Amino acid sequence: MVGGERLWQRLMELGEIGKQPGGGITRLSFTAEERRAKDLVASYMREAGLSVYEDAAGNLIGRKEGTNPEASVVLVGSHLDSVYNGGRFDGPLGVLAGVEVVQTMNEQGIVTHHPIEVVAFTDEEGARFRFGMIGSRAMAGTLPPKVLDYRDAEGISLAVAMKQAGLDPNRLPQAARKPGTVKAYVELHIEQGRVLEETGLPVGIVTGIAGLVWVKFTIEGKAEHAGATPMALRRDPMAAAAQIIAVIEEEARRTGTTVGTVGQLYVFPGGINIIPERVEFVLDLRDLNAEVRDQVWKVIATRAEKIATERNVRLTMELLQDMPPVLCSDEVKRAAEAACQKLGYSPFWLPSGAAHDGVQLAPICPIGMIFVRSQDGVSHSPSEWSTKDDCAAGTAVLYHTVRQLAQAE
Ligand code: HGY
Ligand code: MN
Ligand code: MN
């Protein structure tokens, strides 16, 4: 049965790279940890009988030839980079399941019409440079050059980090795939939500992927003594930030479908007895419907400006990224549905609140995703977990989905 013991052992082995003392995984893009992870996965790809290479964006790719080497490629994969202190399934499951699928085909002597490529995209999460999906955007030819100047917490730019990883940012355009060269992209991923668990199903078929915006708020006030400054005379950016973050929660709740999060906040200078001079935080706002999301954003921005004026602090809002929601293709959804039926799983369709590389590939090829049940719906946390059986079930569905897409003329 595809996706059993070997997949699980590889997941556990890969999950040791970047492990933190508390058990979480931090494997940021273009770091030594990500390099070690790619080297390990490259060894699995060679064991699987794939030809292995990295493109100009650092995407790791393992290729299985089809009967027609000129035919468009069926792409399957995910990412190996993680969030800070994340889990071992988000990303690696999709890459290792892709390897398992083609290794099983090779072991069974199955050759498909279309070549199949297993890909580990670089920097899907955007944890280090606050942008994300670098590898898949490069493959789609849509990576904005300005991002090369985005800096991490140590002030290292993406361009320098890529050079330190042995890549030449000037060659990035070479990673772009010409239109028509990719037949479809399929990604197996943990759901990272509770729907499959509440429905009692191990796998699901994704209908669409929510769109997100990341907006950096910078609020500047006046640093003063915490003890000697009367409340009425303060220009306190932290108090303003607290009020704005409460507005974000209030406005996101209002639609019932939108989600708004502030997960990252910096205070300068950060002393206990100093009214801060400056506070920075980033808003992550999402909805499957772009109009609804953008309407919520407009209200948040208007109310934030009003708060800043009332508090006599200076507010700037910078759009870091704007990702549209995308729908999964009927062709891939149908192939996944047939795969579920073949395996005896009742097909179940659900949207993805989390963003994935497929969003970036949608402009160049049909995309689709298969979800595996997440325990308690938890992800982006050390307690992220999916069972061995559910990972095997998802891999089996991926196997039959990819086989159909790669087989069909
Ligand atoms: O943020 C996301 O939705 C994904 O984990 N990159
Ligand atoms: Mn993630
Ligand atoms: Mn992911």
Give the number of the atom of ligand 1 that is nearest the alpha carbon of residue 286: 3
pLDDT for residue 3 is more than 80: no
Distance 43 CA to ligand 2 centre (A): 24
pLDDT for residue 408 is more than 60: no
pLDDT at residue 22, rounded to an integer: 87
Q: How confident is the model at residue 269 (pLDDT cuts 50, 70, 90)?
A: very high
Task: Give the residue from 131, 134, 307, 161 showing the smallest Cα distance to 236.
Answer: 307
Mean pLDDT of the chain, nearest integer: 97
Rounded mean pLDDT, 61-89: 97
Rounded mean pLDDT, 372-381: 97
Q: Between the CA atoms of 105, 42, 62 and 386, what dihedral angle is there, to the nearest 10 degrees?
A: 60
Distance 378 CA to ligand 3 centre (A): 13
Contact 392, 3 (CB under 8 A): yes
Q: How confident is the model at residue 385 (pLDDT cuts 50, 70, 90)?
A: very high
Of 79, 190, 356, best ligand 1 pocket probe by most atoms within 8 Å of the beta carbon: 356
> What's at 11, amino acid-wise?
L
Q: For the residues of 304-363, what is the DSSP string, one character each?
A: HHHHHHHTT-EEEEEEEEEE--EEPPHHHHHHHHHHHHHHTPPP-EEEESS--THHHHTT
Question: Mind listing the domains of the chain with CATH numbers?
Answer: 4-210+325-407 (3.40.630.10), 211-323 (3.30.70.360)
Distance 176 CA to ligand 2 centre (A): 23
Task: Give the residue from 119, 192, 50, 99 showing the smallest Cα distance to 365.
Answer: 119
Of 89, 359, 380, 381, best ligand 1 pocket probe by most atoms within 8 Å of the beta carbon: 380
Q: What is the pLDDT of residues 280-317, one digit of tens each?
A: 999 999 999 999 999 999 999 999 999 999 999 999 99
Give the number of the atom of ligand 1 that is nearest the alpha carbon of residue 132: 6
Rounded mean pLDDT, 227-233: 98
> Helix (H, G, I), strand (E, B), or coil: what is residue 77?
strand
124 alpha carbon, closest ligand: 1
Task: Give the residue from 303, 223, 311, 226 showing the smallest Cα distance to 267.
Answer: 223
Among the ranges given (56-70, 164-178, 395-409), the one the predictor scored with the smallest mean pLDDT: 395-409
Rounded mean pLDDT, 357-374: 97
Ligand 1 site residues, Cβ closer than 6 angstroms: 124-125, 132, 354-355
Strand partners, 86: 25
Give the C-alpha distances (Å, rounded to integers) separating 62 from 41, 47, 55, 115, 362: 9, 11, 11, 11, 21
CA-nearest residue, atom 4 of ligand 1 = 355
Rounded mean pLDDT, 3-22: 95
Rounded mean pLDDT, 118-139: 97
> Helix (H, G, I), strand (E, B), or coil: what is residue 166?
coil
Give the number of the atom of ligand 1 that is nearest the alpha carbon of residue 133: 6
pLDDT at residue 322, rounded to an integer: 93
Please confirm whether the linkage preceding 366 is cis (ω < 30° from 0): no
352 alpha carbon, closest ligand: 1
133 alpha carbon, closest ligand: 1
Burial of 200 (C-beta count, 10 Å sphere; 0-12/13-18/19+): exposed
Distance 90 CA to ligand 3 centre (A): 5
Rounded mean pLDDT, 22-46: 97
Of 25, 85, 125, best ligand 1 pocket probe by most atoms within 8 Å of the beta carbon: 125
Distance 90 CA to ligand 2 centre (A): 6
pLDDT for residue 144 is more than 70: yes
Give the number of the atom of ligand 1 that is nearest the alpha carbon of residue 192: 5
Task: Give the residue from 91, 89, 90, 18 showing the smallest Cα distance to 59.
Answer: 91
pLDDT at residue 69, rounded to an integer: 87
Give the C-alpha distances (Å, rounded to integers) separating 36 from 29, 31, 165: 11, 9, 12
Rounded mean pLDDT, 213-241: 98
pLDDT at residue 4, rounded to an integer: 87
Distance 356 CA to ligand 3 centre (A): 6
Distance 93 CA to ligand 1 centre (A): 15
In this structure, how many other beta carbons lie within 10 angstroms of the beta carbon of residue 270?
11
Distance CA 42, CA 56 (A): 16
Give the number of the atom of ligand 1 that is nearest the alpha carbon of residue 380: 5
pLDDT at residue 179, rounded to an integer: 86
126 alpha carbon, closest ligand: 1
Contact 396, 101 (CB under 8 A): no
Give the number of the atom of ligand 1 that is nearest the alpha carbon of residue 83: 5
Distance 225 CA to ligand 2 centre (A): 40
Distance CA 19, CA 17 (A): 5
Distance 380 CA to ligand 1 centre (A): 9
CA-nearest residue, atom 6 of ligand 1 = 125
pLDDT at residue 129, rounded to an integer: 97
- Please enumerate in sequence order all residues whose Cβ is within 8 A of that of 405, keeping only pairs 6 or more positions apart, or say none: 74, 114, 183, 184, 186, 331, 332, 335
Distance 356 CA to ligand 1 centre (A): 6
Give the number of the atom of ligand 1 that is nearest the alpha carbon of residue 126: 6
pLDDT at residue 1, rounded to an integer: 62
Q: What is the pLDDT of residues 309-357, one digit of tens each?
A: 999 999 999 999 999 999 999 999 999 999 999 999 999 999 999 999 9
- Please enumerate in sequence order all residues whose Cβ is within 8 A of that of 343, keeping only pairs 6 or more positions apart, or say none: 393, 396, 397, 400
78 alpha carbon, closest ligand: 3
Of all residues in the chain, the percent with pLDDT exceeding 70 is 99
